[in-house]
Amino acid sequence: MTRLGMVINLDRCIGCHACSVGCAVSRALPAGDRWSSVKEYVTGTFPALEITYLPILCMQCSAPACQEACPTGATYIDGEGVVQVDKAQCIGCGACESACPYGARTVLGAVVSNHGDAGPTPPEELFFAARTEGVAEKCAFCSDRRAAGEEPLCVKTCVADARVFGDLDDPASAVAQAAAAGRRLLEDGGTEPAVYYLYTGGNDLDEAFMA
C-alpha cells in the first residue's frame, strides 16, 4: 500500500509564505479560497521571544472528520491515502468545512478575482473557467503535479528545504524516517493526519495552531 505524507521541519521554516503564495498563484485560487497558509505564533517578552512559523494544509487524514460528516460520499480517500472531493457528488452543504478541525476546506462561493476591478488576470480566467461554485475545494498534495512525476508545489517552492514528501508506508523512505521523530497537530482528535512536524522549540504546536 501507498500512503502519501509530508514532514515539515519547523526549525528550518522561515515564515516566507512561498508555499502558500505558490499554491494560490499556481492554481489561481479565487479570493477567499486558500489551501495553504502559515501561522505565526510568538511567546515570551521582548527580547526573550520565541517565534514559531507553522505551515498549515490539508492533513490528508486516515480517519478524516470531513469524510464522516459528508452526507453524499463526495469526500473519499484515494488509493494513495489522499483525501479527495468528487465535485459531481458535492452539494455544497458545508458539513465537511465545519467538521474539519484544521480549517483546510472551503466551500467555493462566488469565483472572484484577487485583483478587484483590475482582474481577472489571464491565469485566473483560465482556471476560473474550470471552477464550480458551491462545491468543496482543498489541497490534494498536488494530484496533477504528482501525475506528471513532480512533487507538490509547496515542497518545490520551499526555499528552506523544510519539507519532505513521499510514501509513509515505505520504511526506507526519507519521509517515513523523518515522520518517526515527528509530531502531529490535534492528535487527540483521532483523525490520524499524514502531515508531521519536526520541532525542537518550546512552543506548544496545538496552541500555535489554535491561536
| Residue 129, phi-psi category: left (phi > 0), alpha (psi -120 to 50), beta (remainder) | alpha
Nearest to 109 by CA among 129, 130, 131: 131
Complete domains list, the chain, with CATH: 4-210 (3.30.70.20)
Output the DSSP codes for 55-123: EE-----SS-HHHHH-SSS-EEE-TTS-EEE-TTT-----HHHHH-TT--EEE--S---TTGGG---HH
Prediction pTM value: 0.95
Nearest to 23 by CA among 9, 40, 36, 38: 36
Query: 15: helix, coil or strand?
Result: coil
Length of the chain: 211
**What is the model's pLDDT at position 8?**
99
167 forms beta bridges with 4
**What is the model's pLDDT at position 71?**
98
pLDDT tens-digit profile, the chain (211 residues): 899 999 999 999 999 999 999 999 999 999 999 999 999 999 999 999 999 999 999 999 999 999 999 999 999 999 999 999 999 999 999 999 999 999 999 999 999 999 999 989 999 999 999 899 999 999 999 999 999 999 999 999 999 999 999 999 999 999 999 999 999 999 999 999 999 999 999 999 999 999 9
How many other C-beta atoms can be found within 10 angstroms of the C-beta atom of residue 196?
Answer: 24
H helix intervals, 87-210: 95-99, 122-128, 143-147, 153-157, 174-179, 205-210
CA distances (Å), origin 56, targets 1, 59, 90, 123: 26, 8, 24, 25
Nearest to 53 by CA among 144, 153, 159: 159
Listed in sequence order, the residues at least 6 apart from 77 whose beta carbon sits closer than 8 Å to its beta carbon are 62, 64, 67, 83, 84
Buried b (16+ CB within 10 A) or exposed e, 56-72: bbbbbbbebbbbebbee
**What is the model's pLDDT at position 117?**
92
